[in-house]
Amino acid sequence: MIRERGVKKVRIAGMGRALAGRKLYFGDQVRYRLLPGQTILDLGVEAAYQALRNAGMKIEDMDCIVCAMATPLQAIPCNAALFHERMAKGLSIPAIDINTTCTSFISAVDIFSCLVDIGRYEHVLILSGDTASAALNSGQKESYELFSDGAAACVLTRAGENDSSGILYSRQETWSEGVHDTEIRGGCGMMPVFCMDEGNREDYYFDMKGHRILKLCARRLPKFVDRCLKEAQISREEIHLVIPHQASRALGVIMPKLGFSKDKYIDRVAQYGNMVSASVPFALCEAEEMGWVKHGDLVLLMGTAAGLTVNFLLMRF
């Protein structure tokens, strides 16, 4: 088998996913939120063990635990250390967080496919998931009715010599003219917890300016996608399935503008909403379970994240 030029020889050996326990309906849209006492740690651990089982591996086999999440579980320590305690206490596996907000999973696969390819690590457990419900503003209907709490995980591992799996191409860009279009201004270093009062309470909630994001995406995303496809020397027709970040119900407007017809991409916004960093791996996991994507298929992971960051990653599954 010819090794594609520049291909990172990795494969996803197993995936898992978990939804929060409380089911809500907003019209025809289904959302999931954490039950009292339930945390993203619980969901992440469930998804991770499922990924390990599907990979036929144990936590002891992992060389690195990576949390690819948009938001912290605690301000200190990093998320991966908290998962380490739940899954790998007593082991010495390094724990690292990678964050590019909603596309953190794609960035983590991008970065760790390089590290696995060169042998820095061999088996990497990547977890995604965010407590979206912790900061939703009931006064902002658009975002309040959009998000779900969920988690997803995968085991990324070296691909065998005769395995066609790998990362063919990846590109990330950040367009910070959109940095304040999706944010939680308060609660951390810029506006500490102890500064919250009745006058600035709104700043501690999630704030999304959907219309501005759409405008920025409409202006820059088509050129970005065209450039990536050209550099990757891949046509839209060759791509078996696109897994976009499930940003919002506008997915059905954006994707055709990028040249992807409805049968070419996953849109599960009505079923699950936006699960922040978990959206992409959750959709990929479901696609594999449902048989929509199979070993050897060319899959495109892509998305826009708060920042505004855009990711494009072509993977032979």
- Using CB under 8 A as the binding rule, the residues of this chain from 258 to 317 that contact a second copy are 305-309
What's the rounded Cα separation, in Å, for the pair 221 and 116? 30
- For the chain, give the longest Cα–Cα distance: 64
User: Among 13, 93, 217, 275, which residue sits at the site for a second copy (rule: CB under 8 A)?
Assistant: 93
Nearer to a second copy by Cβ, of 7 and 241: the residue is 7
> Could you say which residues in the range 187-226 bind a second copy, by CB under 8 A?
187-194, 196, 204, 206
Smallest gap from Cβ 41 to a second copy, in A, equals 7
Q: How many residues bind a second copy (CB under 8 A)?
A: 71
Nearer to a second copy by Cβ, of 40 and 241: the residue is 40
Q: What angle do CA 16, 281, 178 make, to 5 degrees?
A: 150
DSSP-assigned letter for residue 314: E
Amino acid (one-letter) located at 247: A
Say if residues 30 and 272 touch (Cβ distance below 8 Å).
Answer: yes
User: Among 4, 145, 163, 173, which residue sits at the site for a second copy (rule: CB under 8 A)?
Assistant: 173
User: Among 183, 240, 264, 267, which residue sits at the site for a second copy (rule: CB under 8 A)?
Assistant: 183
Of 173, 88, 185, 72, nearest in space to 129 by CA: 72
What's the rounded Cα separation, in Å, for the pair 207 and 146? 12
Say if residues 87 and 95 touch (Cβ distance below 8 Å).
Answer: no
User: Among 143, 164, 182, 274, which residue sits at the site for a second copy (rule: CB under 8 A)?
Assistant: 182
User: Among 10, 52, 62, 80, which residue sits at the site for a second copy (rule: CB under 8 A)?
Assistant: 80
90 touching a second copy, by CB under 8 A: yes
What's the rounded Cα separation, in Å, for the pair 261 and 136? 32
User: φ, ψ for residue 302 (rounded to 5)?
Assistant: -150, 165
User: Among 40, 43, 146, 228, which residue sits at the site for a second copy (rule: CB under 8 A)?
Assistant: 40
- DSSP reduced 3-state for 250: coil
> Could you say which residues in the range 111-170 bind a second copy, by CB under 8 A?
111, 114-115, 117-118, 120, 130-131, 134-135
Structure tokens at 147: 């998000």
Q: What angle do CA 262, 108, 178 make, to 5 degrees?
A: 65
Smallest gap from Cβ 102 to a second copy, in A, equals 9
Nearer to a second copy by Cβ, of 30 and 134: the residue is 134
The structure tokens 């908290």 sit at: 82
42 touching a second copy, by CB under 8 A: no
User: Among 60, 142, 177, 289, which residue sits at the site for a second copy (rule: CB under 8 A)?
Assistant: 177
User: Among 74, 198, 237, 290, which residue sits at the site for a second copy (rule: CB under 8 A)?
Assistant: 74
Smallest gap from Cβ 21 to a second copy, in A, equals 16
